[in-house]
Amino acid sequence: MGNSAFRLVLILVLITVSACDKKASISAVATAPTEVRGPAINFVDTQEAKPLVIDEKLFDTPAAKEFLATGKNIYINNADAIAKGKKIFGLYSCTQCHGPEAKGQTGPGLVGPTFRYPKDATNKGMFETIWHGTNGGMGAKGIGLMDLTDPKNGITPDEVLKVQAWVRSMGTGLTGNE
């Protein structure tokens, strides 16, 4: 093979490799998850419909970050999350008012299709209700709000999402992500 033929083959190989690299990087960009930059949803308290500010740093798991960006709870229908949500529901004595199956006792049922607070049909609405409490007597459960003497007491956004997953599993097929 002559020197000019060798150069031509080398150029063709480099062009082919370069084209493959570009396709690979384009493919990687197309499938990479989007980075969450600030909340895409605005929280509103259930008590007075005022803006509810929650520190974004508390949304520290992939599920919580997805929820903050989209309002979607990716734990819905996740057996592990549902089991943990049921445990959290019991640990925070939610059963005392809402019953062991979240269908109501002294407090309202949480499974739908009707809700004391209609916004609880959505995961965003139910999150706001659990986090900040209600006019009907339920105190805030969110970390830092549940016990003002202990800023670490209360449930995290990730735990709220797991409780929601369990509550949704007890109901009528409503996922809250609709």
Q: Look at residue 42 in the predicted model and tell me its pLDDT.
A: 93
Q: What's the mean pLDDT in 65-80?
A: 96
* 95-124 pLDDT per residue, tens: 899 999 999 889 898 998 888 889 999 999
Q: Which of 8-12, 56-60, 135-139 has the lowest mean pLDDT?
A: 8-12
Res. 34: pLDDT tops 50: no
How high is the pLDDT of residue 148? 83
- pLDDT, average across residues 14-33: 38
pLDDT (0 to 100) of residue 1: 52
Burial category of 80 from C-beta neighbours within 10 Å (exposed 0-12, middle 13-18, buried 19 and up): exposed
